[in-house]
Structure 1
Amino acid sequence: MSNVYRVDGAPVGGATTVSFGERFQSSEQFDHIFKEGMSLVERTASYLDGPGRKEAKGLAGGVGVLYATESMRLTTRLLDLASWLLIRRALREGEITEEEARKKRRRVKLQAFGRPSHVKGYSELPSGLQNLIEESFQLHDRISQIDRILTSPSAAEAPEAAVNPVAHQVGLLQRAFAAKVS
């Protein structure tokens, strides 16, 4: 059995690792999520500066405080999501390196504050704000899931045994028997 290698350096017949991150960033799906995220940021700013401001003035006591609290949480969540999207786009466009993207990403907090729908008075908030909050959590959930995939150790970085222990053992056997036959 001879050692034959493909152009990319992997052994012929060996597994090829495809980077989800690279594929995702250059896909239409990323473009769609990017546009969706930026659109949500714009719609939220427009709502909070316009109709939301007028609606907030008519809210009584605790609901007014809840409106202020939830609008600030919404704004913070959207700024984090927009930062994540902009970092990924900059990486795709070659404006920053992978290492720079990792450093910048560490500063972005994709933590989800608890869903406010169970909070007393939430149902009294204007429907416009409620809708934006729900949309932001849906986008947050999708981006968080993608981020977990992108930041988990890739198969290319992990040792072969950690990726597929059976394939690792088969490879050891093949190399052992190939050495004796040669």
Structure 2
Amino acid sequence: MGDSMTEGQLTPKLIDGLYVEAMVLADEARSYFDTGGRDDRLALDPLDRVGFSCESLKVTTRLMHVIAWLLTQRAVAAGELSRAQAGMAERRLGVAADTDGALLARLPEAAVELIHASEELYGRVSRLDQGSFAEEAGSPARSLLSRLQRSF
């Protein structure tokens, strides 16, 4: 990703790009876990089938947290919602459960790819969330930089 991602700047272009990525991934996950992966799931032993279903829910949960966070950011960026109206708790990215690493080795490749893609996207958005929250909380370095800029 570009510099704006590493600096934690939430630009409308970044938010929109992540939103499209999340929606495409959500559609791929829904398609695979609802229909395409049915044969893959049935080929697993019964315990791994349960794990497969749990992992599909984790993927969905990760993506829904990301999408909800991005929609809130879009609303704030569009002026439809102030940061105060969004509220601190609602603006933060929801917590998603970790994937069972031991189970991954036994799951079909397509499922593993979707799991990794959802984890990667969630991780990127989580870093943005942490960066924007730290900025709002008044990072000492940002505060000093802001004061220096105002003095010139």
Tell me the TM-score normalised to structure 2 length: 0.77
Shift in Å, 1:84: 0.7
Question: Does the CA-based 8 Å contact 1:66-1:122 persist in structure 2?
Answer: no
CA contact (8 A) 2:58 2:96 kept: no
Deviation at 1:114, TM superposition (A): 2.7
Q: Secondary structure at the match of 2:105?
A: helix
Q: In the alignment, what sits opposite 2:97?
A: 113
Relative to structure 1, is the Cα distance of residues 57 and 143 closer, same or farther in structure 2, using a 3 angstrom cutoff?
A: same
For residue 82 of structure 1, report the CA deviation from its aligned partner. 0.9
Tell me which residue corresponds to 2:110: 128
Residue equivalent to 1:139: 121
Shift of 1:145: 0.5
Unaligned runs of 5+ in 1: 1-19, 172-182
- Find the aligned partners of 1:55 and 1:70 in 2 and give their Cα distance: 13
Task: Report the 3-state secondary structure (helix = DSSP H, G, I; strand = E; otherwise coil) of the residue aligned with 2:97.
Answer: coil
Q: Secondary structure at the match of 1:79?
A: helix
Q: Which AA in structure 2 matches 1:129?
A: A
Aligned to 2:4: none
* RMSD of aligned alpha carbons: 2.9
TM-score by length of 1: 0.66
Which string of whole-angstrom CA distances, capped at 9 and with x for unpartnered residues, describes residues 57-94 of structure 1?
Answer: 22212211110111111111111111111111121222
**Residues 152, 139 of structure 1: CA spacing in aligned structure 2 closer, same or farther, 3 A cutoff?**
same
Q: Secondary structure at the match of 1:37?
A: helix
Aligned residues: 141
Cα deviation for residue 42 of structure 1 reads: 1.2
What residue identity is the alignment partner of 2:115?
I
Cα deviations by residue, 1:81-110 (Å, 9 ceiling, x for unpaired): 11111111121222222122235225x51x
Q: Show the counterpart of 2:53.
A: 68
Partner of 2:28: 43
1:77 aligns with 2:46: no
Alpha-carbon distance change, 161 to 43 in structure 1, aligned in 2, over 3 angstroms? closer
Q: Which runs of 5+ in 2 are unaligned?
A: 1-6
Deviation at 1:31, TM superposition (A): 2.2
Question: Does structure 2 retain, via aligned residues, the 8 Å contact 1:25–1:88?
Answer: no
SS at match of 1:24: coil
Cα drift, residue 164 of structure 1: 3.5
Answer 1 or 2: higher relative contact order, Cα 8 Å, separation at least 6: 2
2: CA distance, partners of 1:159 / 1:45: 39
Amino acid at match of 1:31: D
